[in-house]
Chains A and B, each alone.
Chain A
């Protein structure tokens, strides 16, 4: 199969979608600049805090667990990608391939079990 027209058409599609996004952004800037009348008011451009006076900044420390989730995601996402070649060829690999993939999945499954037992995924 000659794949070049596919690539061209996907590029055209990407171009169309991006152009649409940029046109909307441009329209918004245009409308604000030339159509609207901005009425600056005290407090209008402050960070929104439900009406109470501003307390500290948003650049603060946040839960380390969010980082942990991100790191675990990388691990398991790579696992998914590693399983992809197996998924399309497992019938040719037969029982030997199945045995190997069982070991692979078991290692990661044990890893997940370890994470759960260590409380890495506990949220309160």
Chain B
């Protein structure tokens, strides 16, 4: 087993990375929201700012630090876990209990086939930095992505509450509608690179250099994928399942304590996963200009630097999508339901089909 022990590295990297970044995302979302709405946002619970440990010790850290509330996610997590977990008598007990689990699981699992960094050289063999370099990468992504509808559908139905039910049904209809567009956008990418393995797709983009990035070869698929990613994540302008103003909270109306938190966590992990996919398929994955020069070096140290930089590059691209979706969330209003469905079925699906045919025509010699 020893030669395979290095596989633990990507597993722990992806698992720890995603788990570590999610609380940070919650903080960022609130800060960006505050920035856009010209407020301060969370600035009390932190190592900097008023009432913070440093301030109590007598070290002045200032009033309006952007990072003032850095410890807010930790405080939120402790609070959520310490709250009473209400299981009302009217719910379907087991489904109610496990729905948050199914909301959390799928987006996380989809990360298993996304290469997060440049391949390592181990015993003269190239080992991609990915949890599992499986031959059916896209099928794994599609299969796991469709599972994410279960969490919200079960949560909404098991709650036995009208708002939750409506939210759950809306979420399911929306997610499955946009999944078709997502799948077809993926198909065009598979045609472009003649492969369904994310590792191979990134490799081809790296070989092509900066202009080899998928976004230059499949701009239409890039656009479709971005729109569908927003809809799949139930993010504004497609956040009809939640719709605070009409549906209270949608499918998680009846949830309390950390089980509500799990739905929340699942949403942020889904954003990260979509960002990671977008980076992998269209933005060259972990590739960055200058990688070829660094990796060709004889020095082992420089090669390690090249790999570390590739992780950073992947992180920046992923976070780029996440920050973009936060920006959009606090800027755009919400669609009406008929507009949502019209866009999904009458625009995205035909355009995606057209894109597939177009790709085939352009690439057949």
Contacts and interface: CB of A to CB of B under 8 A. Distances in A.
Interface of A: 1, 3, 5-10, 12-14, 16-18, 20-22, 24-25, 27-29, 31-32, 35-36, 38, 44-50, 57-60, 62, 66, 69-70, 72-73, 76-77, 80-81, 83-84, 87-88, 90-91, 94-95, 98, 101-102, 105, 108-109, 112, 115-116, 121-124
Nearest to B169: A66
Interface string B238-272: 00000000001000011001110110000000000
Given A29-B85, A90-B363, A48 B254 contact: yes
Contacts of B361: 98
Interface in B36-86: 81-86
Interface string B180-195: 1001100110110011
A21 B341 contact: no
A32 B357 contact: no
Contact of A28 (B138, B188, B258): B258
A72 B248 CA distance: 29
B364 A17 contact: no
B82 A87 contact: no
Contacts of A91: 194, 363-365
A76 B177 CA distance: 9
Interface size class of B (residues with CB under 8 A): 35 or more
A98 B159 CA distance: 49
Contacts of B90: 45-47
B356 A105 contact: yes
Given A84-B187, A87-B191, A62 B165 contact: yes
Contact of A25 (B86, B97, B146, B195): B97
Interface of B is mostly: helix
B301 interface: no
A18 to B, nearest CB: 7
A31 B350 contact: no
Contacts of B184: 80, 83
A77 B169 contact: no
Interface of B: 4, 7-8, 10-11, 14-15, 19, 81-86, 88-90, 97-98, 100-101, 104-105, 108-109, 112, 131-135, 138-139, 142, 146, 159-166, 169, 172-173, 176-177, 179-180, 183-184, 187-188, 190-191, 194-196, 248, 253-254, 257-259, 261-262, 337-338, 341-342, 345-346, 349-350, 353, 356-357, 360-361, 363-365
Given A25-B100, A73-B176, A109 B131 contact: no
B132 A58 contact: no
